Amino acid sequence: MRWPLQTRRTQPIPNPGRASHILRLACCCAVAALPLAITASAQITINSKTGAVTNGPAPATQSQVDRRFQQIEPTRVPLTKSELDAKTRLELIRALQSEQGFAMRPFPRGHRGLTLEANGKLEPAGESYLNMATREGISAKPGDRLVLTDIKIEHSRIVFDLNGGPDPRHRFMRHIQIGTGPSMSPVVQGDDQEPTGARLSLTFDSHIPELTGDDVKALLAPMISFGLKTPIQAFTDTLPPKLKEAILDHHVLVGMSTEMVLFAKGQPEGKSREMDGQMPFEEWIYGKPPKEVDFVRINGNRVIRVEIAKMGETPVIFTRNEVDGLMRTDGTPLEASRTTRTVKEGDVERDPNTQAPAAAPSILKPGENIPDQPSTGVMRPVQFPKPKPQPDNQSGAQPDATQSASQPPASQAPGTPAPPAATQVPPGDASQPTPPKPPAPPPVGSSQPE
């Protein structure tokens, strides 16, 4: 029912208490939301490394991922508009079948594999690429040799199986058995080894254009290099220029992996395993006096210390990590992300060299002193209570055992030796012997020996 506007103006509020309660609730909600808005805006971001101070929350930075897992640079290979025919299809398979190359990126295992768009991007890339490699495992590292063992040309993509592919052979036929009655035998006999290959799919927009073997190799160049290279050239081509130059010049930098050290210096002439506190490490030694001697300290799979010793000179020690910044997408080491901190309102920054530490938390009010504690006096030696005197024997009390033992009973004749006095043994005293118990009477009806 709709009331006229004039009637609603003159109509009194049916429940004034309820209306006032709603008004008070709305005011409380507005007051409670005010500190949240103030706190959200009162944030200061301080970079403890550079000292830069900015208002508001810290900006979202790009995730730091190894360069080998970042997005690729798209290629620019000219493609025709004509569709791939049967003749060119066979020529393409013959040109690429069993072709060998070198991996430019890590190739993970798994049935799905990596997907590369022609003159486009790589899927997955970044964090997804790294998670896939961690979850499925690595089939080939950068610089490893790859063989195109199988090629499948479909409507709009070409699928390459590398080093045998990620799927086992006859993976569908393994589930089929043939036989009659209870005797059944599988179609595929034997159990082959687990496959360790990878898969790469080259996709196109609508159809596969007319391509040659060289065109496909140019499209796969960001992932696979088909040039004639040595193993060290194939490995260093996947690294940043500065790191590549250091390996080719046979220099070891702090932060290198053991694989990089082997490519740079080869096998060490000596090794030793030691402990630095709770951290185990391995020392690789290169060279012998009087020549230059390099001591490369490795923890896990990374170089943590490099010491170069020459005859007649002070050893030069390097401990600063120089590789992390080169292998990251933004060119900054991992420690740089830990130097930025967001300080909210009320969070005070103190300099431990010039300022005293903050006072410990207390339940006392500001300016209130601790009340004086009452004196407890001087500690004195403990005094044990004195024993109470024993009451005298009254009528009806039993005589003392020693007194009764010293006096012979009236029925005993004079001059007869008195029997030994009974000794009272307090209950629970195990020091006194227990008198033997008399033998138990034999049961009724049993015969006793004479």
CATH of the domain at 295: 3.30.1450.10
Give the distance, in angstroms, between the CA of residue 92 and the centroid of all CA atoms in the same chain. 47
- Asked if the structure places residue 300 within a domain, the reply is yes
- Asked if the structure places residue 184 within a domain, the reply is no
Asked if 199 and 254 sit in the same domain, the reply is: no
Supply the range of the domain harboring residue 75.
Answer: 67-169+195-233
Asked if 141 and 200 sit in the same domain, the reply is: yes
- Asked if the structure places residue 159 within a domain, the reply is yes
Asked if 126 and 156 sit in the same domain, the reply is: yes
Residue closest to 155 by CA, chosen among 116, 85, 206, 119: 206
Q: Which of 315, 334, 353 is the last residue of a domain?
A: 334
Q: Nearest 5 degrees, angle CA 290-CA 296-CA 297?
A: 135
- Asked if the structure places residue 190 within a domain, the reply is no
Per the structure, the count of domains in the chain is 2
Residue closest to 98 by CA, chosen among 213, 221, 9, 235: 213
Asked if 225 and 282 sit in the same domain, the reply is: no
pLDDT digits (tens, 9 = 90+) for 4-60: 444 444 444 445 455 555 556 555 554 454 444 444 445 666 655 555 666 655 544
- Asked if the structure places residue 51 within a domain, the reply is no
Asked if 260 and 320 sit in the same domain, the reply is: yes
For the full predicted model, state whether its pTM sits above 0.75.
no
Per-residue pLDDT of the chain (450 residues; tens, 9 = 90+): 444 444 444 444 445 455 555 556 555 554 454 444 444 445 666 655 555 666 655 544 444 677 888 899 999 999 998 999 999 999 999 999 989 999 999 999 999 999 999 999 999 998 899 999 999 999 999 889 999 999 999 989 999 999 989 988 776 777 788 888 788 887 777 666 788 899 999 999 989 999 999 999 999 999 999 987 787 888 888 888 889 999 999 999 999 999 999 999 999 999 999 998 889 999 999 998 888 999 999 998 899 999 999 988 889 999 999 888 787 654 444 444 444 555 555 555 666 677 777 777 788 888 888 777 665 667 778 888 888 888 765 555 555 544 444 455 544 545 555 555 444 545 544 445 555 566 666 655 545 554
- Asked if the structure places residue 95 within a domain, the reply is yes
The answer to whether 204 and 157 are in contact (CB under 8 A) is: yes
CA distance 291 to 285: 12
Asked if 90 and 227 sit in the same domain, the reply is: yes
Beta strands in 219-378, from DSSP E residues, in sequence order? 224-225, 270-276, 279-286, 293-299, 302-309, 316-318, 340-344
Asked if 131 and 218 sit in the same domain, the reply is: yes
Asked if 82 and 142 sit in the same domain, the reply is: yes
- Asked if the structure places residue 343 within a domain, the reply is no
- Asked if the structure places residue 2 within a domain, the reply is no
Asked if 78 and 140 sit in the same domain, the reply is: yes
Asked if 114 and 153 sit in the same domain, the reply is: yes
Give 337's contacts (C-beta < 8 A, 6+ positions apart).
Answer: 61, 64
Residue closest to 250 by CA, chosen among 215, 193, 292: 292
Length of the chain measured in residues:
450
pLDDT digits (tens, 9 = 90+) for 231-258: 788 888 888 888 999 999 999 999 999 9
Asked if 291 and 153 sit in the same domain, the reply is: no
Q: Which of 334, 360, 378 is the last residue of a domain?
A: 334
Q: Which of 233, 262, 289 is the last residue of a domain?
A: 233
Give 139's contacts (C-beta < 8 A, 6+ positions apart).
Answer: 107, 108, 109, 162, 163, 166, 196, 197, 198
CA distance 94 to 61: 47
Asked if 93 and 229 sit in the same domain, the reply is: yes
